């Protein structure tokens, strides 16, 4: 499957269903950070190192699991685009997590591509258990919920059902907001460091703090919460406007936490070249949100696996041209700011 084929067909499907493609571009008010984030990513170019290079090996591990390339979908709990498509197809209204059966098909695509499925979770969702039984390597990112006892229970449940890691998206605790929405939902609430420590202590799994966008938060997450993984992220734009570009903050986060912590990054990633920039600047892996929604709209689970495999190939080709033989051998010397 070709990148443009998936994207163009996805956009056609949205148009045919009367869904405005602007909903793919998150952003809390002005979408400034998505623009600034893209400009920064685009300002980084590569040094070519062709002579003596080989066809690169993109295989790596995250949280102990081998994957074909350091590329996974980002956590997803629901999508209003995919809800609308599902409603139009089935004629039934999608109201709760249990109605979002499309996420089971989404997970099938992830499994087919050998990647790791990340679910956002506000409840113990049977679909997650089922997809794990089918062999999907899974990470659950619990929502920062007002009901903290329930959040803790979901953390412990994630371990019982066989997830490879669990965590929380702290950048949703003051309410997510897309440009055309009021902030919400109400079940989200501020979490203290003590709360996060309690979640961390409720499991032996690697604990991930998602929504890190400063060396300050990275240090606190590791020192006080004992996080074993971080996701540098601005939630695709839904945190606040005018956040610093993720690739600008990433090297500062890596320097703050050293090599012992797994550092993933998301927000604004669209191509394999973007992934190599992130790996060169200190990431262990990159997650894709909006692009996966579009790929799913296009071809369901096959769109997910097709897009992931396309990104693996793009990464491999760019690594080969820049003389990076393996993921471990990538460093920042290949990056040349314009």
Ligand X SMILES: Cc1cc2nc3c(=O)[nH]c(=O)nc-3n(C[C@H](O)[C@H](O)[C@H](O)COP(=O)(O)O)c2cc1C
Only segment of 68-76, 89-97, 191-199, 274-282 that touches ligand X (CB under 6 A): 68-76
CB 327 to ligand X: min, Å: 20
Take residue 238 and report the two structure tokens written for it: 């839904």
288 binds ligand X (CB under 6 A): yes
Q: Which residues pair with 209 in a beta bridge?
A: 168, 230
Binds ligand X by CB under 6 A, chosen from 173, 293, 334, 335: 293
Binds ligand X by CB under 6 A, chosen from 115, 267, 318, 322: 267
222 binds ligand X (CB under 6 A): no
Cis peptide before 185 (omega within 30 of 0): yes
Take residue 19 and report the two structure tokens written for it: 């869904």
Binds ligand X by CB under 6 A, chosen from 56, 72, 79, 243: 79
Residue nearest to ligand X (CB): 120
268 binds ligand X (CB under 6 A): yes
Residue 108 or residue 210: which is nearer to ligand X going by CB? Answer: 210
210 binds ligand X (CB under 6 A): yes
Residue 245 DSSP one-character state: P
The tally of CA atoms less than 13 A away on the side-chain side of residue 26 is 22
- Rg (Cα) of the chain, in Å, rounded? 19
Cis peptide before 241 (omega within 30 of 0): no
236 binds ligand X (CB under 6 A): yes
Q: Is 126 helix (H, G, I), strand (E, B) or coil?
A: helix
235 binds ligand X (CB under 6 A): yes
Q: Is 67 helix (H, G, I), strand (E, B) or coil?
A: strand
| 8 A C-beta contact, residue 122 and residue 96 | no
127 binds ligand X (CB under 6 A): no
Kindly list the residues in this chain that would bind ligand X in the complex (CB under 6 A). Answer: 74-77, 79, 120, 141, 169, 210, 233, 235-236, 266-269, 288-291, 293
């Amino acid at each position: 499957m070709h990148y443009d084929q998936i994207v163009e067909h996805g956009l056609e499907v949205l148009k045919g269903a009367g869904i405005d493609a602007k909903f793919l571009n998150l952003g809390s008010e002005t979408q400034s950070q998505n623009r600034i984030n893209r400009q920064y990513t685009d300002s980084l170019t590569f040094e070519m190192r062709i002579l003596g290079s080989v066809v690169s090996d993109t295989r790596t591990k995250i949280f102990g699991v081998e994957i074909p390339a350091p590329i996974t979908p980002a956590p997803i709990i629901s999508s209003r685009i995919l809800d609308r498509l599902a409603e139009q197809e089935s004629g039934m209204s999608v109201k709760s997590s249990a109605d979002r059966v499309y996420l089971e098909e989404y997970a099938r695509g992830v499994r087919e591509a050998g990647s790791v499925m990340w679910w956002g979770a506000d409840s113990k969702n049977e679909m997650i258990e089922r997809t794990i039984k089918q062999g999907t390597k899974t990470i659950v990112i619990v929502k920062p919920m007002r009901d903290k006892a329930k959040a803790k229970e979901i953390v412990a449940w994630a371990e019982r059902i066989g997830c490879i890691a669990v965590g929380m998206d702290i950048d949703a605790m003051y309410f997510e907001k897309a440009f055309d929405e009021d902030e919400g939902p109400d079940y989200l609430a501020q979490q203290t460091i003590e709360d996060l420590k309690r979640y961390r202590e409720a499991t032996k799994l690697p604990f991930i703090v998602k929504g890190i966008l400063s060396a300050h938060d990275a240090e606190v997450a590791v020192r006080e919460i004992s996080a074993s993984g971080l996701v540098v992220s601005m939630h695709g734009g839904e945190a606040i406007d005018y956040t610093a570009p993720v690739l600008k903050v990433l090297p500062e986060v890596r320097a703050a936490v050293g090599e012992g912590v797994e550092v993933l990054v998301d927000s604004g990633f669209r191509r394999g070249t973007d992934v190599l920039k992130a790996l060169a600047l200190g990431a262990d892996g990159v997650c894709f949100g909006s692009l996966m929604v579009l790929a799913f709209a296009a071809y369901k689970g096959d769109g997910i696996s097709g897009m992931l495999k396309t990104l693996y190939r793009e990464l491999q080709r760019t690594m080969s041209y820049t003389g990076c033989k393996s993921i471990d051998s990538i460093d920042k010397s290949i990056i040349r700011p314009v």
